[in-house]
Chain A
Amino acid sequence: MRRATLRPLAAAVGVTLALASLAEAQQAPPAWKQGQPAELANSPLSPVPLPPTPTPANQIPLDRVKLPPGFKISVWADGLHNARQMARGDKGTLFVGTRVAGNVYAVVDRGGRREVKVIAKGLSQPSGVAFRDGALFVAEIPRLLKYENIEAHLDSPPAPKVVYEYPKDAHHNWRFLLWGPDGKLYFNMGAPCNICMPPDTHANISRINPDGTGFEYFARGVRNGTGADFHPVTKELYFVSHGRDWMGDDIPNDTLHHAPRPGLHFGYPYCHQGDIVDPDFGGGHSCSEFAPPLLKLGPHVAPIGTRFYTGNLFPPQYRNRLFIAQKGSWNRSERIGYRVMTVELKPGQPPKYEVFADGFHEGDKVLGRPTHIEWMPDGSMLVSDDYHGAIYHITYAR
C-alpha cells in the first residue's frame, strides 16, 4: 500500500498530528483507484457513473448497433434499472437481477407488451439470478436467497429463505449464478480489490448444493469472474475474468478460461493473461505455474454475459458457439469493448474470436453497455444493458 502524503502542518496541531499519522498510514484509496501507480495519480480515468433512472426505450440509440446480415435488434423491455443477469421461469417469467439499483425484477410477457414488476428491492447488489423447480435464487453480495413458488406470487412475493451467507466484501463480489451439470449452483467470489493478495475465501469460482450445503471452491486465482457457462457437448466449464487495472491501456487482457476439472489456479494475483507477471505480487512466481487462459479477449473490455448458443434460430455456424457480452472499458484512454463477441471452439483448433454486435459507444460517448445474455425459447437472444436499464432482443430471419 502506498504511504499517505502529508501536507505541511500548522504548528498548533502537533499532538493531533502524531495520532493522525498513525491512522493515515492505514488509509487506502477508493477501491477503483487501488493499485494505481504514482505516475498515474492524475489520470482522468474513472468508472462510468450509473444514471439514477433507466432510459426510456425511445431514447436508446440502438440504430447505431451493427449486426451480421439477417440479424435485428430491438428493445424488448425497458424500465429495468441497472438490469444484469436474467433467468427464465417455468411459466415464462423473465427474472432480472441488478447491481446498485438493489432491485430484482420479473418481466411478464403479455402478448407483445411486457409488464415489469419489482419483486424485491433494497438488496445489496443482487446481480445473480437462477431458476429451478419453481424457485428463484438470487445472489446478492452477502447472501444467497431463495424465493419458492415465485411465479405464483409475483405481486406479493414471500420473504425469501437465506440459503447461504457469503463474505460481506462488496468489491468484485456482485455475482452470477449458473446451474452445473452436477445440479450444483456455481458463482463467482471476486478479489475484494484491484490487485492484492486476496484472502483464501476470494478470487475464485465456487459451487454449492441448492440447499446451501456442500460449498466447494472450483477454480482459484480468478480476479473477477463475471460470467460462465458449461459447454453443451463436453459439459465443461468456461468462464471469463476481468484483468487488473492501472497497468496501462493495453495490458493486461481480460480473458476466457477453460476449467475442465476443479482445483486449477488461474494466476491471480501473481500472473495476468497467462504471460505477464504482476509487478507487485508476482515476485518469485512464473506464469507457467498456472492454468493459462484459453483466449485473450482484449484489455479492459469487461466481459460479463458468457453463454453457449444451443438454439435453432440462428444460422448453423452459431450452434455451440460462445457469446460474450462486453460491457466496455473505463480504465483505458480510448474506449474498447461495448459489444457482443462470439468464440468458436473446435477440438484441435485455436479459438475463433469474432465480432457479433458492435457500436455501443461512439468515441468517448457511451451508447449502451451490453451486460448479460439469455436465450428465448425460440432461439433468439436477450441482452441486458445495465447502463440504460433495458433488455434487447436480437432475432434472425434469412
Chain B
Amino acid sequence: MLAGAPAQAADLEAGRRLAEPCARCHGADGNTTLPGTPSLAGQPAWFTHWALIKFRDGRRKDPLMSPFAANLSDADMAGLAAYYAALPPRPRPQAVDAAKAAAGQRLAVSNQCTSCHRGDLSGQHQVPRLAGQDIEYLRRMLRAYKEGTAGDLEGLMTIAAQPLTETDIESLAYYLASLTPAP
C-alpha cells in the first residue's frame, strides 16, 4: 500500500528527468558497464530510495553521490527510485572466474542470502538486486558492510559480513556477478 503502490506515470516522468545527469555513469537505460558503478535498472524502488536517503544523511559517503543526493526531496527520491525500478535489467559483460563463482555459490547458500534477496537474487523491498551486478561494486559493498561504512539499515548485512574473509568476498562477488538478472 501507499509507498509500495505501483508508480504513477507522472512519477516515472519526473524520475526520468531527474535521472538525466545519472546516465553518464549508471547508463542511459540504468544498465552500465563502467567498472565499480552499479547498474540501477530493475532495482527494487525502496532499495534505490533508501540508498539515496543514506547518501543524503551521510550514512553512506561517495564523492559523486553525496553531493547529488544532498538536495533531493523525498518526492525526488521516490521518482528516481520508481524510474529505475521500471527499467529492465540486462546482463553486464564481465569476466568471471568459474571456480571462484562456484565457491561463491556455496557461500551464498550457507549465508542464506536468498532469504532476503530472493531465490533469483532479484531483491525485494529495501533489499537490493544482486544478480548480474558489477563485480567491483559488489566487492566494495561487502567490504564496506564488514567495515561498518555501508550505512546498513538494521545491521543485518553488517552481522552477515563479519565472518567473511577477503577470499569469501571475492568468491561471492564473482558468483553474484555471474548470474543473469531475471526480469
Contact = CB atoms under 8 A, between A and B. Distances in A.
Interface of A: 4-7, 9-10, 12-13, 16-17, 19-20, 23-24, 26-33, 46, 49-53, 55, 59, 99-103, 121-122, 125, 141, 169-171, 365
Contact of A23 (B3, B57, B155, B163): B163
Contacts of B153: 100
B121 interface: no
Nearest to B111: A27
Contact of B156 (A23, A24, A26, A30): A30
A16 B100 contact: yes
A50 B109 CA distance: 26
Interface stretch (B17-25, B87-95, B165-173): B165-173
B142 to A, nearest CB: 13
Given A23-B163, A170-B158, A171-B159, A59 B106 contact: no
Contacts of B116: 30, 46
Contacts of B1: 365
Contact of B46 (A9, A10, A17, A51): A51
Given A13-B103, A16-B99, A102-B59, A5 B115 contact: no
A341 to B, nearest CB: 25
B168 A59 contact: no
B49 A52 contact: yes
Main secondary structure of the interface of B (DSSP, over half): helix
Contact of B49 (A33, A53, A171): A53
B109 A5 contact: yes
A49 B125 contact: yes
Given A16-B102, A53-B74, A31 B156 contact: yes
B35 interface: no
B159 A31 contact: yes
Given A30-B159, A51-B2, A101-B53, 18 more contacts: A6-B106, A12-B98, A12-B99, A13-B99, A23-B167, A27-B107, A28-B159, A31-B159, A49-B124, A49-B125, A51-B3, A53-B78, A102-B59, A103-B57, A121-B58, A169-B155, A171-B159, A365-B1
A263 to B, nearest CB: 30
A24 B46 CA distance: 30
B110 interface: yes
A121 B156 contact: no
B156 A52 contact: no
Given A5-B109, A27-B163, A102-B57, A52 B50 contact: yes
A28 B77 CA distance: 34
Contact of A7 (B46, B106, B167): B106
A208 B3 CA distance: 40
Contacts, number: 123
Contact of B103 (A16, A29, A33, A51): A16
A51 to B, nearest CB: 3
B112 interface: yes
B4 interface: yes
Contact of B155 (A6, A51, A53, A171): A171
Contacts of B53: 52, 101
Contact of B109 (A7, A33, A55): A7
Contacts of B62: none
6 contacts: A10-B102, A27-B110, A51-B46, A52-B50, A122-B57, A122-B59
A30 B98 contact: no
B180 interface: no
A175 to B, nearest CB: 14
B2 A55 contact: yes
Contacts of B154: 31, 99-100, 125, 170-171
A12 B77 CA distance: 45
B107 A20 contact: yes
A10 B97 CA distance: 13
A102 B153 CA distance: 9
A121 B58 CA distance: 8
Contact of A4 (B99, B109, B115): B109
B174 to A, nearest CB: 11
B33 interface: no
